Structure 1
Amino acid sequence: MFVLAHLTDAHLGPLPRARFAELAGKRALGVLNWRRGRQRRFNIATIDLLVADIKAMAPDHIAVTGDLVNVGLAAEYVTALNFLRTLGEGRDVTVVPGNHDAYIRSTAHHALLNWGDYMRGDGANADVTAESAFPFVRRRNGVALVGVSTAVPTHPFMATGRVGEAQRERLGHVLDGLAAEGLFRVVLIHHPPCGQRAGHKRLIDAEAVRDLLARHGAELVICGHDHVQMVEMLPGPNGGLIPVVEAPSFAAGPEDRHWPGGYHLYRIERVEDARFPWRCTLEARGFGSGDTAVETRTVRVLSTALSGG
């Protein structure tokens, strides 16, 4: 059995001090948004409780699907690196970026620059560029972790993402190759490729990504962005279904009216079944409303939905 923990949208605070020149344009709006609401919703005490629970669960690997920073200040990426180190070494933690991690163009490269050990495939060179870094693959005990980036700098008031044609083409080849190896393919992506959301928050090429998954398949897609827990199904090859699972914000407190903070655990194991050779069980752990104890919120078996490639 392989146990995978998934967390997302930690939005690590507090915001570092910044020069006046750094707070122009979109970043100024982000700082205002933080001070008016997010700094009260997201706090380190919440994160510490959830990190302690993850360590107690002792997963084999941890996946982080983006939005570690808030407004793209250079110091935020260093804070995020220190946070990742509390979770584990690069070989044990896999990260993909979110829209906040590419908040403005001038610092969008800092995610890969600082977190490269957590965002590279097996055997990849340390000097990989942002254009060629994704998708990347890590193989762990029969499970393939496929890192996809939707992080692109956007205009003020926009939180959209895009995979892009070149990355989609590479992703199709990657998924086919992993299926031929008989691996359980987990796609890590920040923006969900399905569901309804406001235009300023959408994955711009979501339809193309859905079409790609329908052709090439995956056993599981994990994502974040919306700060809620959600399970949806996408059509996969051969009439199968692909579970797409969103996790809530890792920094939201027990009193959060949007969705209390939490994370997911996946227990993945091979089974003797000609059609579905894997069993995947989702355990959602986090806070109940107003309760600071971290506990199991729901358990769901996803194995009947696997696409099979």
Structure 2
Amino acid sequence: MSKIKIPDPAGLYFAHLSDPHLTTLRGVRLCQLLNKRVLGYLSWRYKRRKEHRVEVLDALLRDLAQTHPEHIVVTGDLTHIGLPAEFQQARQWLDRLGSADRVTVIPGNHDAYIGTSWRSTFAQWEPYMVSDDNAGKAQKPVFPSLRIRNGVALIGLSSAAPSAPFFATGSLGSAQREKLSLLLQQTGEQGLFRIVLLHHPPRVQDEKWRKRLTDGDDLCDILGRAGAELVLHGHSHRPMESGIPWGERTIPVFGIPSASAIGHKPGRRAQYYLYKVLRETDCWSVRVSIRGYQMGSRDFALQHEHQLSVPVISSTSS
């Protein structure tokens, strides 16, 4: 990659949301459900449509208009069972969320429920997924993607892969992992703040076996060698915080609940996180603000804030 000139001051104020499951399955035809999708449809019909609520998503959009982040990242599961019509609905919602240069999307396992043609599904989200160098160009495969914003590298991965009935696993695959390793090395050498985005938790011990990232150990090995400053994910529909060893340091890993969940289960109500990353003399300052849905006011509000300090060290010096 060409040399990137890091601005002064470098940093980014961005929002992370995940698992909005924003589509409806009303009007789906029986012939569309003669596969694993019938299980997802029944889950939506009797459970998920009561949990993932449009009024929560409307409140989310109102709050984002008030907090006004410079960028928004969405880590997958915009749909329920990955039908082409759902991709159309999700594209309309993304257009409301922001322009493609201000919104970065990666897919989740629900978006790849079964094998489907790229053209009728993910191609509709391409402007929100592709790397900066490929903006405006039809491209497959897209991942890993790289978008650089004011000294911050947003590195998108796809763990979305069809799985067997009753499974919600994900996989990156060897080709994507190899490209990621090189990308982390190159962006680290340039002194960028590297944020790795994926749907599944990277550590296999953080998720049930039937819902895990199958090559999570391989991913953690790559991160342990090449390094990153932050890893963000969704999938588990609950707040999660962990770390991945990188030499003498630890890479912070954050997972968040569904952005649309009304919260019938404790700890599962909708949240999104705001990050303010700022380059200082010898470190990156990272302020994390957690905003959650409030049943009483039917709006999002600040719930908690904390501060991180991440050393400015290239990946080659671990």
Shorter-chain TM band: over 0.9
In structure 1, what is the equivalent of residue 186 of structure 2?
A: 177
Cα deviation, residue 35, structure 1: 1.0
Aligned pairs, how many? Answer: 303
Q: Give the one of 261, 266, 277 matched to 1:257.
A: 266
Aligned: 1:192 with 2:201: yes
In structure 2, what is the equivalent of residue 19 of structure 1?
A: 29
1:129-148 equivalences in 2 (<5 Å): 129-130=140-141, 133-148=142-157
TM value normalised by structure 1: 0.93
Matches of 2:234 and 2:312, distance apart in 1: 20
Matches of 1:291 and 1:229, distance apart in 2: 22
Unpaired segments ≥5 residues, structure 1? none
1:1-309 equivalences in 2 (<5 Å): 1-107=11-117, 110-124=120-134, 126-130=137-141, 133-194=142-203, 195-236=205-246, 238-253=247-262, 255-273=264-282, 277-288=283-294, 292-304=298-310, 309=315
Cα deviation, residue 240, structure 1: 0.9
Matches of 1:289 and 1:78, distance apart in 2: 30
* Code of the aligned partner of 1:95: V
Runs of 4 or more, structure 1, over 4 Å off, are 107-111, 288-291, 304-308
Q: Deviations over 1:112-170 (max 9, x none)?
A: 3100000000121622113xx11010010010100100000111111000011111010
Moved more, 136-145 or 298-307: 298-307
Matches of 1:144 and 1:115, distance apart in 2: 20
* Code of the aligned partner of 1:127: A
Distance 1:16 1:245, change over 3 A: same
* Code of the aligned partner of 2:59: L
Matches of 2:297 and 2:221, distance apart in 1: 41
Q: Secondary structure at the match of 2:132?
A: coil
- What is the RMSD computed on CA atoms of the aligned residues? 1.7
Q: Secondary structure at the match of 2:213?
A: coil
Q: Deviations over 1:216-270 (max 9, x none)?
A: 011000000000111111101x311101100110010155535110101000001
- 8 Å Cα contact 1:162/1:203 also seen in 2: yes
Matches of 1:198 and 1:205, distance apart in 2: 14
Cα deviation, residue 96, structure 1: 0.4
- 8 Å Cα contact 1:31/1:71 also seen in 2: yes
TM value normalised by structure 2: 0.91
Cα deviation, residue 73, structure 1: 1.3
* Code of the aligned partner of 2:199: H
Q: Secondary structure at the match of 2:63?
A: helix
Identical aligned residues as a percent: 40
Distance 1:261 1:307, change over 3 A: farther
- 8 Å Cα contact 2:41/2:81 also seen in 1: yes
- 8 Å Cα contact 2:84/2:121 also seen in 1: no
Q: Secondary structure at the match of 1:114?
A: helix
